[in-house]
């Protein structure tokens, strides 16, 4: 054997070992399960699971618009293509009727289907892995109690090479490590409960943590805000930065937003309004407050997205002020202080001061309502202004509110408004 052949053999062997190691890391299971659900009567376990399904917002991805509950079919757009929420009713042929509690645990905890195939991370098992076995068993009991629906699952429509499921092993090796979240003994029971809900069932990181080019959340920048792919909405930081995050909020403010969709500082809009409507309004008062307590313990880390550096000309500020006086001041007040919770303040509002202006632009373009919740069944709405204001008008208006009353968020260009208007018509 020549020297060159020996070198090639060594390189090939090293490559095989590396690929094998990567595949093993990406397909490994976490053997620990933790305690199963405490023995209880079936109705108690089912009711517990029903509450957990609401807390985890299972309906959002597993119930299509106008479709049967939990029968799947919801399109979930990603930068790599579209996946569809599967049928998780107890139908034997198209749902999870033949799944055992262990199979269900494997999906949540290890990100694998009943047959061992790797699940796409649009299903947030990267967060659900922290869910306890007891809660997984309760969720399973609840799903077994719902009406079975015969509805075949729609296969994902992904671009090449993302449609090659075995390649998920490499992604998982880099970005996924299964494991139940352990309680922090140095923190209170309330804090630990809030952390469990935020980092596990609530999977808040799925929207509020930035992602890399391969779609993985950046673990080095937790909850520092991020643009929601394809939907073109910005999920603000949950850290305690005073300008862009929750620094001005109290734990009670956060709990109020989760339960009612409104607070003294802002109101839920866009995708977050849907989360409040379908999920967080159903939290117990204790759980909503626990989330607030945990979020308020996060550091004052600045937003991951750089702040806009677009300067605003004095003339643009003056024109923006006039538009604001004509169209906005009656509800939001002359100094942006708002009026109770019906019309939120714009001064210090994280939707306004976010590094990305897209949410504020889209609210002006399309208007909107806070979600109708049990605590606020008839929310006040904001009319759309996209038909009466052109792109330049909206750019000056949003620039004005982002740079008045103590807000220091940078200017907005007419091109950004044009892009937001186009995205609004697509979503």
Q: In the predicted model, is pLDDT for residue 242 greater than 90?
A: no
**158, containing H or E segment:** strand 157-158
If one counts the domains in the chain, the total is: 3
- The rounded distance, in Å, linking the Cα atoms of 224 and 235 is 9
- Within this chain, do residues 141 and 227 fall inside the same structural domain, yes or no? no
Q: Are residues 156 and 194 in the same domain?
A: no
Average pLDDT estimate for 183-194: 97
Binding positions are 58, 61-62, 204, 207-208, 328, 331-332
Per-residue pLDDT, 16: 47
Query: Does residue 122 fall inside a structural domain?
Result: yes
Any domain includes 21 = no
297, 323, 339: which is the final residue of a domain?
297
Residue 98 pLDDT exceeds 70: yes
Give yes or no: residues 228 and 346 share one domain: no
- Between 394 and 343, name the one with better pLDDT: 394
- Domain end marker among 236, 267, 297: 297
When the pLDDT of each residue in the chain is averaged and rounded to a whole number, the result is 90
Binding site feature residues for heme c:
58, 61-62, 204, 207-208, 328, 331-332
The residue among 144, 175, 206 that closes a domain is 175
Residue ranges making up the domain that contains 377: 314-425
Sequence-ordered alpha helix ranges (H) in 28-68: 42-55, 58-62
303 inside domain: no
Torsional class of 162: left (φ above 0), alpha (ψ -120 to 50), beta (otherwise): alpha
Q: What is the pLDDT of residue 47?
A: 96
Helices (DSSP H) in 261-296: which residue ranges?
Answer: 270-278, 285-296
> Which whole number is the average pLDDT over 23-44?
64
166 and 262 belong to one structural domain: no
pLDDT exceeds cutoff 90 at 218:
yes
- For the residues 407-417, what does the mean pLDDT come to? 92
Percent of the chain past pLDDT 90, that is, above it, reads: 74
In order of 132, 195, 415, the CA distances from 182 in angstroms are 9, 10, 47
- pLDDT-derived band at 54, boundaries 50, 70, 90: very high
Asked whether the predicted pLDDT for residue 61 surpasses 70, the reply is yes
Task: Read off the tokens for 240.
Answer: 């305690």
For residue 364, give the CATH number of its domain.
1.10.760.10
pLDDT at position 13, please? 46
User: Looking at the domain assignment, is residue 58 inside a domain?
Assistant: yes
Tell me which of 148 and 8 has the higher pLDDT: 148
pLDDT at 336 over 90: yes
Confidence bin at 27 (pLDDT 50/70/90): low
221 and 249 assigned to the same domain: yes
What's the token pair of residue 311? 């300067």
307 versus 232: the higher-pLDDT residue is 232
300-to-199, 222, 355 alpha-carbon distances in Å = 18, 12, 15
Is there a domain that residue 180 lies in?
A: no
Is the pLDDT reported for residue 6 higher than 60?
no
Q: What is the pLDDT of residue 126?
A: 96
Amino acid 38: pLDDT: 57
Helices (H) and strands (E) in the chain, counts: 18, 7
Across 141-145, average pLDDT: 97
pLDDT band at 73 (very low <50, low <70, confident <90, very high): very high
In a domain, 391, yes or no: yes
* Of 234, 286, 236, 209, nearest in space to 55 by CA: 286
Measured CA to CA, the distance from residue 198 to residue 31 in angstroms comes to 24
Q: Tell me how far apart the alpha carbons of residues 44 and 39 are, in angstroms, rounded to a whole number.
A: 10
pLDDT band at 131 (very low <50, low <70, confident <90, very high): very high
Q: What is the mean pLDDT of residues 167-181?
A: 93
Tell whether 126 and 151 lie within a shared domain: yes
pLDDT at 311: 82
User: Does a structural domain hold residue 307?
Assistant: no
Higher pLDDT, 257 or 6: 257
- Give the torsion sign (CA, 207, 208, 213, 216): negative
In a domain, 242, yes or no: yes
For residues 283 and 318, membership in a common domain is answered with no
109 and 221 in a single domain? The answer is: no
State residue 306's pLDDT score.
Answer: 78
Do 318 and 236 share a structural domain?
Answer: no
Q: Are residues 195 and 169 in the same domain?
A: no
For residues 161 and 62, state if they share a domain: yes
Backbone angles phi, psi at 267, to 5 degrees: -135, 155
Query: Alpha-carbon torsion 186, 189, 192, 198, what sign?
Result: negative
At 425 the pLDDT is 66
Asked if the bond preceding 21 is cis, omega within 30° of 0, the reply is: no
Query: Where residue 217 sits, what CATH number does that domain have?
Result: 1.10.760
310 dihedral zone (left: phi>0; alpha: psi -120 to 50; beta): beta
Q: Does 368 share its domain with 250?
A: no
Reply yes or no on whether the pLDDT at 26 is more than 80: no
What gap in Å lies between CA 201 and CA 124, rounded to an integer? 9
Strand partners, 63: 72
Q: Is the predicted pLDDT of residue 181 greater than 80, yes or no?
A: yes
Q: Bridge partners of 76?
A: 83
């Amino acid at each position: 054997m020549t020297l060159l052949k020996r070198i090639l053999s060594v390189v090939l062997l090293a490559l095989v070992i590396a690929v094998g190691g990567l595949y093993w890391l990406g397909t490994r299971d976490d053997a620990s399960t933790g305690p199963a659900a405490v023995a209880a009567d079936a109705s108690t376990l089912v009711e517990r699971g029903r509450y957990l399904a609401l807390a985890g917002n299972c309906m959002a991805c597993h119930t299509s618009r106008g479709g049967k509950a939990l029968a799947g079919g919801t399109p979930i757009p990603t930068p790599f293509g579209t996946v569809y929420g599967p049928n998780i009713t107890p139908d034997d042929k198209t749902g999870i009727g033949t799944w055992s509690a262990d199979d269900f645990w494997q999906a949540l905890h290890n990100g694998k289907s009943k047959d061992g195939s790797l699940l796409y991370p649009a299903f947030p098992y990267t967060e659900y892995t922290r869910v306890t076995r007891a809660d997984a068993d309760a969720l399973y009991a609840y799903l077994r109690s719902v009406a079975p629906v015969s509805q075949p699952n729609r296969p994902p429509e992904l671009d090449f090479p993302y449609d090659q499921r075995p390649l998920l092993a490499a992604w998982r090796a880099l970005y996924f490590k299964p494991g139940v979240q352990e309680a922090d003994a140095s923190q209170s029971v309330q804090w630990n409960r809030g952390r469990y809900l935020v980092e596990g069932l609530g999977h808040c990181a799925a929207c509020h943590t930035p992602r890399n080019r391969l779609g993985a959340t950046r673990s080095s920048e937790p909850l520092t805000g991020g643009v929601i792919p394809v939907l073109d909405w910005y999920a603000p930081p949950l850290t305690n930065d005073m300008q862009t995050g929750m620094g001005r909020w109290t734990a009670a403010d956060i709990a109020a937003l989760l339960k009612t969709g409104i607070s003294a500082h802002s109101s839920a809009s866009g995708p977050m309004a849907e989360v409040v409507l379908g999920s967080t309004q159903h939290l117990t008062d204790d759980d909503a407050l626990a989330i607030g307590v945990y979020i308020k313990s996060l550091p004052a880390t600045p937003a991951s997205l750089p702040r806009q550096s677009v300067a605003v000309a004095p003339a643009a500020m003056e024109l923006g002020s006039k538009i604001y006086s004509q169209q906005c001041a009656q509800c939001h007040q002359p100094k942006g202080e708002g009026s109770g919770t019906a019309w939120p303040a714009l001064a210090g509002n994280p939707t306004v001061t976010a590094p990305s202006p897209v949410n504020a632009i889209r609210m002006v373009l399309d208007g909107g309502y806070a979600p109708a919740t049990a605590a606020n069944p008839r929310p006040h709405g904001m009319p759309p202004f996209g038909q009466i204001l052109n792109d330049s008008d909206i750019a000056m208006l949003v620039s004005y509110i982002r740079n008045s009353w103590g807000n220091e968020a940078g200017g907005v260009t007419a091109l950004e408004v044009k892009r937001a208007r186009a995205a609004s018509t697509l979503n």
